[in-house]
């Protein structure tokens, strides 16, 4: 937390997740002498008896209060610490279900980047990292937008698929699984590869089918896997649990552009931290960087399962 709109959006999103899961939430505001949220500095050095420590804690409490939803009370631990923000988040998040950060902050050193705090967490965290932005469309209780996940057959993308399926079950939302593929570059008409488009598309279908079979052997998670409060929030009491709707799509084009197009109506975009083939370089490489930077929905990056 740093008082920015994106950080508030991240806290609000995280609180909703914690409520559905029956978990607690830890909100952290960290600063150093060289890297301190702008609002903390402005308040701390205003006329009156202020300290940076007291101001940081007061700002953090204000952030928690203004993002609190009385319909969904969540136990919140507030921590204002003198530490590097990245180190503080990674340390606290090592044993957490996930780390949630805003797209950009207000720090004088970091406000111009896709935050360097968010980027560092995406590179280094061993837990899922979710990046939230304030200008995205907030999900509602009756929202039927899907959880979107990109797969390419790598172990990381299968881990992302399983995590995305859990999110879909938690929110009783459809699960949309996308694999992007591209035909061979333009070649002379007589070249054999130029005649193999159908074979390439068939191979891409096989990758998508294998991902679903390997990642979701039961073809999706049942809604009964959801916590009781999630079921109560999403379905009438007289309705039994229903299977998560699975939607598989083969997208023609580059992975980043394909995922961003599919993410227009998604509630969450999920990616593995690194992949191969069409999703190479997902550790905030070309695909992940573009998705985090341009997607309007929250983006979750799932760490490599072998890390």
Clarify whether residues 159 and 122 are in a common domain. no
Indicate whether 141 belongs to any domain: no
Indicate whether 174 belongs to any domain: yes
Indicate whether 256 belongs to any domain: yes
Clarify whether residues 189 and 289 are in a common domain. yes
Contact status, residue 45 vs residue 64, Cβ threshold 8 Å: no
Clarify whether residues 40 and 186 are in a common domain. no
Domain count, the chain: 2
Indicate whether 307 belongs to any domain: no
What is the extent of the structural domain holding 96?
5-132
Clarify whether residues 174 and 53 are in a common domain. no
Contact status, residue 170 vs residue 228, Cβ threshold 8 Å: no
Residue 28 exposed, middle or buried by CB count within 10 Å (0-12, 13-18, 19+):
buried
In the block, residue with structure tokens 């202020």: 50
According to the model, what pLDDT value does residue 50 have?
Answer: 77
Clarify whether residues 84 and 185 are in a common domain. no
According to the model, what pLDDT value does residue 247 have?
Answer: 94
Indicate whether 187 belongs to any domain: yes
The region that residue 281 occupies, defined by phi over 0 for left and psi between -120 and 50 for alpha, beta otherwise, is left
CATH of the domain at 34: 3.40.50.620
Clarify whether residues 32 and 100 are in a common domain. yes
According to the model, what pLDDT value does residue 235 have?
Answer: 45
Indicate whether 142 belongs to any domain: no
Clarify whether residues 71 and 200 are in a common domain. no
Indicate whether 140 belongs to any domain: no
pLDDT per residue, tens digit, the chain (307 aa), is 998 999 999 999 999 999 999 999 999 999 998 888 888 888 888 877 778 899 999 999 999 999 999 999 999 999 999 999 999 999 999 999 999 999 987 654 444 444 678 888 988 999 999 999 998 776 665 678 999 999 988 888 999 999 999 999 999 999 999 999 887 665 565 656 555 778 888 889 999 999 999 888 766 454 434 454 554 445 443 444 456 899 999 999 989 999 999 999 999 999 987 755 444 444 455 777 789 889 999 999 998 775 5
According to the model, what pLDDT value does residue 144 have?
Answer: 86
pTM of the model: 0.85
Clarify whether residues 119 and 22 are in a common domain. yes
Clarify whether residues 275 and 241 are in a common domain. yes
Indicate whether 137 belongs to any domain: no
Clarify whether residues 98 and 193 are in a common domain. no
According to the model, what pLDDT value does residue 84 have?
Answer: 92
In the block, residue with structure tokens 């937390």: 1
Clarify whether residues 156 and 240 are in a common domain. yes
């Amino acid at each position: 937390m740093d008082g920015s709109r994106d950080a508030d959006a991240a806290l609000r999103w995280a609180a909703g997740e914690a409520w559905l899961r029956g978990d607690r939430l830890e909100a952290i505001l960290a600063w150093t002498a060289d890297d301190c949220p702008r609002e903390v500095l402005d308040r701390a050095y205003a006329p009156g008896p202020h300290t940076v420590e007291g101001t940081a804690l007061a700002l953090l409490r204000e952030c928690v209060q203004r993002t609190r939803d009385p319909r969904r009370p969540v136990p919140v631990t507030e921590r204002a610490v003198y530490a590097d923000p990245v180190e503080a988040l990674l340390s606290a998040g090592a044993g957490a279900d996930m780390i949630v950060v805003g797209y950009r902050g207000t720090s004088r050193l970091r406000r111009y980047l896709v935050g360097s705090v968010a980027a560092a967490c995406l590179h280094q965290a061993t837990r899922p990292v979710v990046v939230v932005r304030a200008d995205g469309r907030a999900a509602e209780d009756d929202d039927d937008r899907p959880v979107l996940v990109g797969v390419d057959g790598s172990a990381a993308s299968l881990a992302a698929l399983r995590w995305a399926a859990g999110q879909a079950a938690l929110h009783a939302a459809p699960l949309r699984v996308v694999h992007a593929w591209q035909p061979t570059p333009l070649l002379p008409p007589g070249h054999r590869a130029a005649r193999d488009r159908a074979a390439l598309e068939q191979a891409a279908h096989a990758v998508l089918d294998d991902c679903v079979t390997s990642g979701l052997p039961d073809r999706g998670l049942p809604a009964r896997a959801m916590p009781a409060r999630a079921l109560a929030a999403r379905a009438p009491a007289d309705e039994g649990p229903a299977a998560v709707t699975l939607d598989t799509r083969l997208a023609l084009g580059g992975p980043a552009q394909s995922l961003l197009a599919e993410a227009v109506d998604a509630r969450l975009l999920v990616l593995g931290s690194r992949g191969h083939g069409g999703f190479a370089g997902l550790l905030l490489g070309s695909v992940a960087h573009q998705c985090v930077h341009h997607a309007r929905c929250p983006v979750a990056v799932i760490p490599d399962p072998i890390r």
